[in-house]
Chain A
C-alpha cells in the first residue's frame, strides 16, 4: 500500500481532532487551497481510509445509559482460514461494536453493547458461547468510562492561564 501524502496525513490529524471542520478551514490551517483539501478528503473516503465521521458521546451524561461489556474469547482456529471465519461470524452480530484479534491469554476481544445487563448476558450465553469453535468466554462489564478515543470525559482541560500575560 502506498504511503499517504503529507497533506492527507495532516488532514486526517485535523479531522480526528474535530470531524466537523470545513474544507475551507482546513485549507487555511494547512496553507493550501480548498480544492486540494477536498480532493484529499474525497480520495481518503474512496480508499476507505476515512471510514466514517462519528461522534464521541459521553454516555455517562445520558439517561438511557447502555451496558457495555468486553469479552475475552478463546477459540479454535479453523483450518485454512485461521481466525478470520470466526471473527466474521462474531462481528456480524449487530450487538458487537468491535472485534480485535489479540495476542496473549485469549484470541478475540469483543466489545458488546446492550440496553440491559440481561441482554448482554443472553447474547454471550446464547449466541457467542454456542458457536462451535468458541472454547471459552470471560465477560467484563464496563462500570465507567474515563477516557475514550483519547478524550478524557470528566476533565475538560480548562485553560488555567491568566487572561493576559507577557
Chain B
C-alpha cells in the first residue's frame, strides 16, 4: 500500500485526526491516477499541465544562479526584482496596476496563494461560493479552513459561464468569499467584460471578497482574458491569483503569486512567513527569466494549444459527442450522456478497454456528471490516436 493510497484503517490513530481532515474525500483524479499507472500503451488526455518542457533559457538561468551560489532565503514576499517584473507583466498584459512593494506576494504555486487567501479570510461557518464544475481543490481547502463550500452550477448551454441569477440564488447572509476560475479548469469556459459586469454588481451588493484564480489567463483563443480585478471597483475586493505553471510550462517549479489590497496581502504574508518562509530562490530566478525573456515562447505555445483545440473539438464532435467550444485553458469538456454511461463508468471503461485516460466530470464537483475532461496539452499525433481509439469505443457502445 502506497502512502498516497493509504486509507485510515487504524482506529486508534484515526481518533487523533481533526474531524475535518478525516471527512474530506481523496480527489476523484487520484483514483484515476491509481487506475492508469501500471497500464501500458495508454494515451493520456488526463494531464492538467503543458506538455512543453520549461523553455531552456529559463532552466539555464536557474542553473547559472545555482552555479553562482544563489541558494539563500529571499525576502518573505519574494525578491523585489520578481515582484517588479510581475507588476509590469500584469500592467502590460492585463491593464492591472499593483504596487510591487506591498500588493504582490510570491507564493509556492497558485495553490498556496489560494490557501493563504482562504485562511486569511475565513471564519468557521463562512460560506465560500464556488462555480462548478471547478478545479478539484477549491471546495476541500475551503472546508479544511472551516468554511462551508457552496457550489454554483454552470451549464454547457451557457458555455459554462457564471450567470448572475445562479450566483444570486446561492448567496446567503453567511456568504463571504467567491472563488472564480476563468478561463476554467475543467470546462475551458471564459468570461468577457460584459459577462463580468452583473457578477461584479452582485459582489458589491452582497459585500463579497473574490479570490480570482487566473492561472490560465494567458491561454485564451480569440478574445483576450479579462481579469476580474480590472472591473470598476473590484480591485480592492479581489485577491488575484496567478502563476507560472500554465503560461510558461513551469508546473513543477511551484511558482505563483497573489495580488490585492495591501491589508489583505499583509495578512496572507503573515501566514506565508510562518509556514513556508519564502518561495524557493531558484524558482524565483527562473520565474524572473520567464517574465523577462519568455513571452515569445509563451505565444508560440498558445498557438499550438489553439491548433490542438480545434483538432480535438472537431474530433469529439465527429465521434458523435456534444462538445461546447472551449475558449480558454487546454481542456475540452465533451458530454457523454448519450452513451448511457455515467462519467465514472465511461472514463473507467475508456481507460481499460480503449487505453485512453481522461478524467470523469464528476471529479470536478456539481454539474460534472455526464461530462469528461479531455486535456489537449499533448501532441497532435497523440490527440489523433486518442480520438481514433475513442471513436471505436463509442461506436462499440452505441452498437450495444
Contacts and interface: CB of A to CB of B under 8 A. Distances in A.
Interface of A: 10, 14, 18, 21, 25, 28-31, 157, 159, 161-166
B290 to A, nearest CB: 19
Contact of A159 (B32, B51, B185): B51
Contact of A161 (B47, B311, B384): B47
- The B interface is mostly helix, strand or loop, or mixed, namely mixed
Contacts of B42: 163
A25 B381 CA distance: 11
B359 A161 contact: no
Contact of B357 (A29, A163, A166): A163
Given A28-B314, A157-B53, A163 B44 contact: yes
Given A161-B49, A163-B47, 16 more contacts: A10-B303, A21-B380, A28-B310, A28-B314, A29-B310, A29-B311, A30-B307, A159-B378, A163-B33, A163-B36, A163-B44, A164-B33, A164-B36, A165-B29, A165-B49, A166-B136
Contacts of A31: 310
Given A28-B314, A29-B380, A157-B53, A163 B37 contact: yes
B331 to A, nearest CB: 11
Nearest to A13: B303
Interface string B272-292: 000000000000000000000
19 contacts: A18-B381, A25-B380, A28-B310, A28-B311, A29-B307, A29-B380, A157-B53, A162-B37, A163-B36, A163-B44, A163-B47, A164-B33, A164-B357, A165-B29, A165-B33, A166-B29, A166-B135, A166-B136, A166-B137
Contacts of A159: 44, 51, 378
B199 to A, nearest CB: 25
A164 B47 contact: yes
Contacts of A166: 27, 29, 48, 135-137, 185
Given A157-B53, A159-B51, A164 B46 contact: yes
A164 B32 contact: yes
A73 B8 CA distance: 75
Interface in B296-325: 303, 307-308, 310-311, 314
B359 A164 contact: yes
- The A interface is mostly helix, strand or loop, or mixed, namely loop
A25 B312 CA distance: 11
Contacts of A157: 53
Nearest to A162: B33
A164 B186 CA distance: 13
Contacts of B357: 163-164
A31 B314 CA distance: 10
A48 B135 CA distance: 49
Nearest to B34: A164
A162 B359 CA distance: 13
Contacts of B359: 164
A165 B48 contact: yes
A31 B39 CA distance: 35
Contacts of B44: 159, 161, 163-164
A159 B42 CA distance: 12
B400 to A, nearest CB: 29
Contacts of B310: 28-31
A164 to B, nearest CB: 4
Contacts of A163: 33, 36-37, 39, 42, 44, 46-47, 357
A35 B163 CA distance: 40
Contacts of B29: 164-166
Contacts of B48: 165-166
Closest CB pairs A-B (n = 7):
A164-B46, A29-B307, A163-B36, A164-B33, A164-B32, A166-B48, A165-B48
A21 B136 CA distance: 37
Contacts of A164: 29, 32-33, 36, 44, 46-47, 357, 359
Nearest to B308: A29
Interface in B15-55: 27, 29, 32-33, 36-37, 39, 42, 44, 46-49, 51, 53
